[in-house]
Amino acid sequence: MTTGDISVASTAVAVETILETTFGGDFHVAKHVAANAAGKTNANVYTVAFGDGHPGDIEMMHVGSGSMTTGTVYVTELAPGALRHTESNVIEGRAYRFKLAAKNIAGRSAPSAARTVLAANLPFATPKPLITDVSGSKIALVWDAPNSNFVHESGSPITGYKVYAFPGAGLVTATNPNPITEEIQTVEIFVDPARSETQTLTIAGASSGTFMLSWRNEATVALAYNANAADIETALNALTTIGEVSVSLSTGSTYDIVFVSDVGNIELIEAFTAGTLLPSDGTATVVVTEKVTGVAPLGYDEAPADFTLTFRGEQTPHMNWNISARDLEYSLENLKTIGDVTVAVGLPSNPASNSWVVTFHTEVGDIPMMQATSGRLSRPGLYGSISNNNALCNITQTVSGSAALLAWDGSSAPSIRTFDFVENIVPDGTWEPEDRKSVV
pLDDT at residue number 422:
79
State the CB neighbour count (10 A cutoff) for residue 97. 9
Count how many Cα atoms sit within 13 Å of the Cα of residue 29 in the half-sphere of its side chain: 17
pTM: 0.65
pLDDT at residue number 303:
57
Point out the residues of the chain with pLDDT beneath 50: 149-151, 430-440
Domain boundaries, the chain: 1-84, 184-193+299-399, 198-292
pLDDT at residue number 439:
34
- Dist. CA 81–CA 401, nearest whole Å: 36
pLDDT at residue number 301:
55
pLDDT at residue number 215:
93
- Dist. CA 99–CA 116, nearest whole Å: 9
Ranges of H-type helices in 28-152: none
- Dist. CA 251–CA 147, nearest whole Å: 78
pLDDT at residue number 270:
94
- Dist. CA 399–CA 401, nearest whole Å: 6
